[in-house]
């Protein structure tokens, strides 16, 4: 598979209705909010998590495993990678250029690290895409991923709401039922929010990790469908609404990303907003594009 040879920038729009898109553990799991403006926030790592979950469920086979997944032990996966490629981290390096003896048992050194990093890139989609720090434990170095995302920020202010949760059934036999029913907790939501996220894909970095055209296609699929297998009562109704992709005809890019992003304009038809139809999204046509850049609306 050949790596991508073009730079891409993209705008992702998604919304939430009567849910919590990204709770803040430092604030009792309230929806994340910019305290100065009141705009809602969703972290980049939250969005990457949903992409990882989609790819894991899609089960594309060899080369599309996920490194950072629930309950994974990262150092163990790195250690298993070295065993797979035949490098014994408890023995002296087989290549003398890596040193006559192992400096620290169980830790790769010299060219072994390069081989370990190459194996991890070729077998794990999220390392190929987002990069990873693998310099702990057995040490497979660090990878700077070609795909990077910003925080998503809501177009308008959001108002976090708190709802009491009651239960009618008891769990424990040794306690009176009356002590176990009634108000048992709180649920935090926002009524509606349309969020905007910006993304960047670097062709030179893709060449270093092996991020291919097939990987790019899977990434677009994940961004479009990541909420469809992620529904929960806490998150309410979340949907990808627009994915606008700017493709440069060169590896380094033809124009700054912000010039392209500024061409996507979002205006509220009425306030308060409670649905995507309450917004007008202006997407530039190809005739509005600067030379060397094409635009594609994938949704």
Q: By C-alpha distance, which of 216, 200, 204 is closest to 255?
A: 200
Predicted pLDDT at 183: 65
The residue segments making up the domain with residue 275 are 8-57+146-297
Q: What are phi and psi of 165, to 5 degrees?
A: -115, 130
Residue 20 lies in a domain: yes
Residue 102 lies in a domain: no
Each residue's pLDDT tens digit, 182-201: 767 789 999 999 999 999 99
Residue 235 bridge partners (DSSP): none
Residue 280 lies in a domain: yes
Residue 209 lies in a domain: yes
Residue 202 lies in a domain: yes
Residue 212 lies in a domain: yes
Predicted pLDDT at 164: 84
Question: Which two three-digit tokens encode residue 213?
Answer: 């055209």
Residue 173 lies in a domain: yes
- All residue ranges of the chain with pLDDT < 50 are none
Predicted pLDDT at 46: 97
Question: Which alpha helices (H) appear in the chain, and where do they start and end?
Answer: 44-58, 74-84, 111-123, 125-130, 203-209, 213-225, 257-261
Residue 85 lies in a domain: no
Q: By C-alpha distance, which of 12, 147, 126 is closest to 74?
A: 126
**Domain count of the fold of the chain:** 1
Q: What size, in residues, is the chain? A: 299
CB 243 within 8 A of CB 224: yes
In the Cβ-directed half-sphere of 280, how many Cα atoms lie within 13 Å? Answer: 7
Cis before 272 (ω within 30): yes
Buried b vs exposed e over 77-105: b needs ≥16 C-beta within 10 Å? bbbebbeeeebebeeebeeeebeeebeee
pTM: 0.93
């Amino acid at each position: 598979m050949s790596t991508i040879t073009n730079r891409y920038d993209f705008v992702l729009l998604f919304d939430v209705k009567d849910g919590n898109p990204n709770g803040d553990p430092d604030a009792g799991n309230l929806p994340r909010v910019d305290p100065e403006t009141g705009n809602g926030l969703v972290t980049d790592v939250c969005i990457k998590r949903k992409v990882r979950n989609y790819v894991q469920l899609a089960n594309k086979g060899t080369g599309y495993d996920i490194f950072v997944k629930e309950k994974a032990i990262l150092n163990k996966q790195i250690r298993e990678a070295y065993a797979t490629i035949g490098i014994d981290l408890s023995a002296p390096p087989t290549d003398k250029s890596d040193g006559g003896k192992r400096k620290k048992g169980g830790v790769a050194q010299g060219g072994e690290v390069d081989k370990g990093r190459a194996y991890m890139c070729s077998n794990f989609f999220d390392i190929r895409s987002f990069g990873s720090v693998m310099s702990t434990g057995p040490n497979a170095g660090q990878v700077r991923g070609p795909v990077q995302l910003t925080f998503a920020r809501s177009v308008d202010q959001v108002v976090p709401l708190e709802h009491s949760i009651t239960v009618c059934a008891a769990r424990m036999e040794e306690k009176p039922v009356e002590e176990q029913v009634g108000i048992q907790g709180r649920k935090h939501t926002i009524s509606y929010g349309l969020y905007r996220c910006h993304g960047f894909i670097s062709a030179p970095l893709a060449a270093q990790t092996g991020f291919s055209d097939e990987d790019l296609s899977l990434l677009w699929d994940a961004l479009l469908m990541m909420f469809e297998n992620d529904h929960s009562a806490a998150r309410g109704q979340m949907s990808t609404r627009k994915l606008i992709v700017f493709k440069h005809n060169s590896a380094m890019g033809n124009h700054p990303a912000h010039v392209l992003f500024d061409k996507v304009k979002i205006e509220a038809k009425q306030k308060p907003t409670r649905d995507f139809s309450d917004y007008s999204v202006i997407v530039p046509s190809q005739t509005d594009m600067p030379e060397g850049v094409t635009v594609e609306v994938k949704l």
